[in-house]
Structure 1
Amino acid sequence: MPNYRRTDTPGATWFFTVNLLERHGNDLLVREMERLRACVLAEKQRRPFSILAWVVLPEHMHWIWRLPESDADYSTRWRRIKTDFSRGLPVAERRSAVRIARGERGIWQRRYWERQIRDADELIRYVEYIHFNPVKHGHAARPNDWPHSSFRSFVDRGRYPVDWAASTTLDWTSDG
């Protein structure tokens, strides 16, 4: 079995991508948006952290979190959010024999992708990536049209104009 190693920098800022197991044609996350919000809020009350930016698409989501200065444990937070979300749903998903034997649901991919954000420029790039993601995946014509993200709060705080990226084609597939 692979040995996944994660850094443990207390107080760090992190970018996450979390996916549903069955991504094709699945709209569970937006259909159950209120459940997801409640699970994130419950975990924030148990183990505080700050949410800097987020977007929830039908089958995956991106988040930027900042952990408290003395805390590096984002993995427990994600495990609890995913578990709480799954517990409230009827068992209707397809599950492999391995998942059944382990008593696991077939809702989430087991792993998620994380990256520690190291400076202000990188933070800006990831915030923009998050807010442009619904456009990239064809769910909205412009970021302001997608209701399940922090984009509108950034507009309200004067960080973006309401039509940000509306007429610009941005390339989020390259590193440059």
Structure 2
Amino acid sequence: MPNYRRARIEGATWFFTVITARRQRFLADEHAISILHQSVLATLQRMPFRIDAWVILPDHMHAIWTLPAGDKDFSTRWGLIKAGFSRKSNLPQASAPRRDGGLWQPRFWEHKIRDTRDYHAHMDYAHYNPVKHGLVTRVKDWPHSSFHRAVREGIYSADWGGVEPRQSGGNNFGE
């Protein structure tokens, strides 16, 4: 098995892409979204962090988190979220025993946010993703997104995303 190296930087802000196993589309179900939400809340109580952005699509999700000062353990948080979801869902589990029930790809993609420009590029990417995948034609029409909170906070205008935001270097940010 490869030895994956992850950066371990305390109190950093991270962009993540988490994908379901075999790109199963189980996150399209409202019940699944509710279970995922419960799992995230339970993890936040156990190991707090700030959610800067989160977008849930049928077969993957993107998130931006800021960890508390002195904390660098995003891997345990993702493990808790995935395992909590798998325990509470009624989805068929893989035959091989795994904490996450085999519903998720074993790993995830992470990127340390380097600066304000990088932060905004990843915020835009995450929030525009439902349009990119053809799920909606306007960002505001996707219900499973922190975009709505960002509009309330004045970060975006409600009509943002009518035109695809510019991406530097054509990045797919982990997809």
Q: TM-score, normalized by length of structure 1?
A: 0.89
Aligned pairs, number: 166
Quote the offset at 1:91 in angstroms: 5.2
Asked whether the 8 Å contact 2:35–2:89 carries over to 1, the reply is: no
Cα gap change, 1:74 to 1:169, in 2 (>3 Å): closer
Asked whether the 8 Å contact 1:30–1:148 carries over to 2, the reply is: no
Runs (4+) off by over 3 Å = 169-173
- Unpaired segments ≥5 residues, structure 2: none
For the residue of structure 2 that corresponds to 1:22, the secondary structure is: helix
Which of these two proteins has the greater Rg computed from alpha carbons?
Answer: 1
Q: 2:103 is matched with which residue?
A: 107
Matches of 1:143 and 1:164, distance apart in 2: 7
Q: 1:14 is matched with which residue?
A: 14
Quote the offset at 1:171 in angstroms: 5.3
Cα gap change, 1:6 to 1:169, in 2 (>3 Å): closer
Percent identical = 47
> What are the Cα deviations for residues 40-83 of structure 1, in whole angstroms up to 9, with x where unaligned?
01100100100001100011000000000010000000001100
Matches of 2:160 and 2:113, distance apart in 1: 23
Quote the offset at 1:16 in angstroms: 0.3
> What are the Cα deviations for residues 85-144 of structure 1, in whole angstroms up to 9, with x where unaligned?
001123525x3xxx62xx122210001000000111100000000110000001111110
- Unpaired segments ≥5 residues, structure 1: none
For the residue of structure 1 that corresponds to 2:170, the secondary structure is: coil
Asked whether 1:30 is paired with 2:28, we answer yes
Quote the offset at 1:161 in angstroms: 1.3
- 1:13-162 alignment to 2 at 5 Å? 13-23=13-23, 26=25, 28-31=26-29, 32-90=32-90, 92-93=92-93, 95=94, 100=96, 103-104=97-98, 105-162=101-158
Quote the offset at 1:10 in angstroms: 0.4
Matches of 2:48 and 2:161, distance apart in 1: 32
Cα gap change, 1:37 to 1:91, in 2 (>3 Å): closer
For the residue of structure 1 that corresponds to 2:86, the secondary structure is: helix
Matches of 2:113 and 2:21, distance apart in 1: 26
